[in-house]
Structure 1
């Protein structure tokens, strides 16, 4: 994994999560702002999948368990999709709060992926 990209992902996911939670608790329903924030998190996760595929071939192999890393990455990539689908099905303010919680979960999962990739020794 790339350090600055991981930091950017964690910051964007945390900001998107806090934004969605604040919007939801303020009574706002799903909008372009809340769904767009989660879509940005999803785009960054797709880019992370590409980075994770390419990195070992250019001399940046993982030090931790590769299966655990990919389990986190695939699970994290599914969370924003699930949140956006939920927002389209349930058009209440609570779906925006759920999207915020999912974005915060993605931030934690990306940090954990970074730990698996760079710090842990298999």
Structure 2
């Protein structure tokens, strides 16, 4: 993994998550802004999948468990579409909060993936 790209993903996920949680607690229903934030997170995660495939081929191999890393990555990729689907099916303030919580969970998962890739020794 690439440290600066990991930091960008975490910052975007935290910003989108805090925005969605605050918007939901203020009574806002899912909007283009909250769904767009989740779409941006998903786009970055798809780019992370590409990086995770290419990085070992260029000499940046993981030091931790590759299986654990991929389980985190696949789970993180599934969270944004699942939360948006929920938000579009149940258009309430709580679905906006759920999207925010999913974004914050993605931030934690991305940081954990970086730890598995660089710090943890298998």
Partner SS state of residue 29, structure 2 = coil
TM-score under structure 1 normalisation? 0.99
Show structure 2 runs of 5+ residues with no match.
none
Pairwise CA distance, 1:87: 0.8
TM-score (norm 2): 0.99
Q: Which residue of 1 aligns with 2:56?
A: 56
Q: Gapped runs of 5+ residues in structure 1?
A: none
Q: CA RMSD in A?
A: 0.3
Residue-pair matches, total: 122
CA offsets, 1:5-60, max 9 Å, x none?
Answer: 00000000000000000100010101100000011000000000000000000010
Query: Match for residue 89 of structure 1?
Result: 89
Which secondary structure state, in structure 1, belongs to the residue aligned with residue 102 of structure 2? helix
Give the equivalent residue in structure 1 for 2:38. Answer: 38
Which residue does the alignment assign to 1:7? 7
Aligned equivalents of 1:51, 1:44: Cα separation in 2: 10
Residue of structure 2 in register with 1:101 after alignment: 101
User: Which runs of 4 or more aligned residues in structure 1 lie more than 2 Å from their structure 2 counterparts after TM superposition?
Assistant: none
Cα offset, 1:97, TM superposition: 0.1
Instruction: Kindly provide the CA deviation profile for residues 51-80 of structure 1, in whole angstroms up to 9, marking residues without a partner as x.
Output: 000000001000000000000000000000
- Tell me the CA shift for residue 105 of structure 1: 0.2
